[in-house]
């Protein structure tokens, strides 16, 4: 069993302003935004401990805005399913009131900060997430603590610069990782906040009724019959994966026709499950060491290099500017190469290409909100090959990724999309269109996997998604 503690590592905590604690406040406020879960949540536990220290109740608030950048009905539904479950668990098991209030997250946080002794928040790495926290820190009438809980190793502890590749960040992460593979025990809250006299916010009992009130893109339908949001559900999904699929994960993880997939990424994106909790369940499993190492490599090294990338490239992570010189140069040299196939964005969106495997991948994305990781690489590489130039390819890949994937609009999205163009990779044999960036072929897919079975699998999933 993994070690456990109620103590929160100091490296996870940052005080964001110089404003003192407001001793006249009525409650300690946890402004929940990234870590959307009622347990294994360092920001929540920090707030609970401060509430007890100051003999106050704990209030949790979440700001639900209209038209979150690139989000749509599919994303909002999954998120609200999780927030509903989180709200219920906090009330039933911890006597903590959670308010989901309509409005920009920073404005909602400041609205409730007026009555706070201290405000605690979690951490995000994207531009708008950081701007929200900077605004709240500057304007809140009390101290603001930020607690980092959605990585295993805190970003600035792992590295003080944008890392070149997995091989450069891996030893830095492992230098600290063991100290953070610790389960977080909940802190009992001394005072109930269920009867606290504050605005109650939105009623989450009917998710569809909530989304009906919001101004958002409704063109992309929810997929709740296939993938449902929720922190307890997330743990059930991951436990099932460990029990049924994990024993030969390393052998099957690049074979998209199999079901050796944990589906953790969508829950991690919304903060509905802790990466530390996942890592500890993986590490204490009965699977061979090779399987454990392979999964932790993906969960920690490959995932957390993307947080590193977005954090240290705040103004450019959604452009081609951060590419290494060799990649930018080779793509420019081959930008005008003749393409055997050229497709419009609409043809790509509909999966109307000559490649049945690619079309199936696009169907999985479009109809289910997910795509097997190996197919994501193949899918992106082919859009580079079939677009008129690298800049247009990047726009298309990012747009489709962020529109359809439940785990889109994430540091993983921005970093891994740029991997298609050479980020965090090395130079390969030069060829038309790709230059020296990595090439992936239909023949290679056929040698490594059974893509025809994958096509059949996607057809079944698409039916299930509409059930």
Instruction: Kindly report, residue by residue over 303-328, the tens digit of the pLDDT.
Output: 999 999 999 999 999 999 999 999 99
Check residue 10 and report its DSSP letter: G
Which domains, from first to last, does the chain contain? 325-465 (1.10.579.10)
Predicted confidence band at 457 (pLDDT cuts at 50, 70, 90)? very high
CA-nearest of 365, 449, 359, 445 to 401 is 365
E-strand stretches of 68-115? 97-102
The per-residue pLDDT for 442 is 95
Question: Crossing angle, helix 303-312 and helix 166-180, to 10 degrees?
Answer: 110
The residues with which 72 forms a beta bridge, in sequence order, are: 217
Q: Tell which wins on pLDDT, 131 or 466.
A: 131
The per-residue pLDDT for 25 is 98
Instruction: Kindly report, residue by residue over 195-254, the tens digit of the pLDDT.
Output: 999 999 999 999 999 999 999 999 999 999 999 999 999 999 999 999 999 988 988 888
Tokens of 279: 């890592």
Question: Could you give the CA distance from residue 196 to residue 68 in angstroms, rounded to a whole number?
Answer: 29
Predicted confidence band at 466 (pLDDT cuts at 50, 70, 90)? confident
**pLDDT > 80? residue 1:** no
Residues 6+ apart with CB under 8 A from 329: none
CA-nearest of 369, 307, 4 to 180 is 4
Q: Are 92 and 238 in contact (CB under 8 A)?
A: no
Question: Could you give the CA distance from residue 25 to residue 179 in angstroms, rounded to a whole number?
Answer: 35
Question: Could you give the CA distance from residue 280 to residue 269 in angstroms, rounded to a whole number?
Answer: 19
Question: Could you give the CA distance from residue 101 to residue 124 in angstroms, rounded to a whole number?
Answer: 19
| Phi and psi based region of residue 40 (left: phi greater than 0; alpha: psi -120 to 50; beta: remaining) | left
The per-residue pLDDT for 253 is 87
Residues 6+ apart with CB under 8 A from 463: none
CA-nearest of 13, 308, 305 to 161 is 308
The per-residue pLDDT for 251 is 85
Question: Could you give the CA distance from residue 101 to residue 76 in angstroms, rounded to a whole number?
Answer: 14
Predicted confidence band at 47 (pLDDT cuts at 50, 70, 90)? very high
Q: What is the mean pLDDT of residues 344-349?
A: 98
Assign 27 to helix, strand or coil: strand
Instruction: Kindly report, residue by residue over 101-158, the tens digit of the pLDDT.
Output: 999 999 999 999 999 999 999 999 999 999 999 999 999 999 999 999 999 999 999 9
Q: What is the dihedral of CA 17, 304, 61, 143, to 10 degrees?
A: -10
Instruction: Kindly report, residue by residue over 361-403, the tens digit of the pLDDT.
Output: 999 999 999 999 999 999 999 999 999 999 999 999 999 999 9
């Amino acid at each position: 069993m993994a070690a456990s503690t109620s103590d929160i590592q100091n490296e996870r905590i940052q005080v964001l302003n110089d404003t003192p604690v407001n001793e006249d406040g009525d409650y300690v406020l946890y402004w929940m935004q990234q870590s959307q879960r009622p347990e294994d949540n360092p920001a929540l536990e920090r707030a609970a401990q401060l509430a007890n220290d100051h003999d106050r109740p704990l209030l949790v608030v979440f700001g639900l805005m209209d038209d979150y950048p690139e989000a749509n009905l599919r994303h909002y539904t999954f998120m609200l399913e999780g927030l509903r479950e989180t709200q219920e668990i906090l009330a039933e098991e911890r006597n903590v009131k959670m308010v989901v209030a309509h409005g920009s997250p920073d404005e909602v946080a400041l609205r409730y900060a007026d009555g706070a002794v201290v405000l605690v928040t979690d951490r995000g790495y994207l531009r708008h997430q950081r701007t929200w926290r900077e605004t709240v820190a500057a304007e809140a009438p009390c101290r603001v603590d930020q607690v980092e809980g959605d990585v295993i190793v805190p970003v600035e502890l792992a590295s003080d610069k944008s890392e070149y590749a997995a091989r450069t960040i891996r030893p830095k992460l492992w230098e600290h990782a063991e100290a953070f593979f610790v389960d977080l025990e909940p802190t009992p809250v001394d005072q109930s906040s269920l009867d606290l006299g504050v605005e109650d916010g939105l009623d989450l009992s009917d998710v569809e009724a909530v989304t009906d009130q919001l101004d958002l893109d409704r063109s992309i339908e929810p997929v709740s019959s296939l993938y449902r949001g929720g922190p307890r559900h997330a743990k059930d999904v991951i436990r099932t994966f460990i029990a049924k699929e994990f024993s030969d994960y390393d052998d099957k993880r690049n074979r998209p026709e199999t079901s050796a997939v944990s589906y953790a990424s969508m829950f991690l994106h919304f903060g509905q499950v802790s990466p530390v909790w996942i890592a500890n369940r993986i590490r204490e499993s009965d699977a061979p060491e090779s399987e454990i190492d392979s999964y932790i490599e993906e969960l920690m090294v490959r995932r957390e290099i993307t947080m590193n990338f977005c954090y240290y490239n705040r103004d450019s992570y959604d452009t081609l500017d951060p590419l290494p010189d060799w990649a930018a140069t080779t793509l420019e040299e081959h930008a005008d190469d003749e393409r055997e196939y050229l497709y419009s964005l609409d043809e790509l969106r509909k999966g109307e290409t000559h490649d049945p495997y690619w079309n199936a991948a696009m169907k999985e994305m479009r109809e289910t909100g997910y795509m097997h990781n190996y197919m994501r690489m193949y899918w992106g590489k082919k859009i580079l090959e079939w677009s008129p130039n690298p800049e247009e390819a990047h726009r298309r890949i990012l747009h489709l990724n962020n529109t359809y994937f439940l785990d889109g609009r994430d540091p993983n999205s921005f970093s891994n999309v740029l991997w298609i163009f050479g980020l965090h990779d090395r130079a390969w044999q030069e060829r038309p269109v790709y230059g020296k960036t990595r090439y992936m072929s239909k023949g290679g897919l056929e040698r490594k996997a059974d893509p025809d079975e994958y096509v059949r699998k996607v057809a079944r999933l698409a039916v299930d998604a509409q059930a």
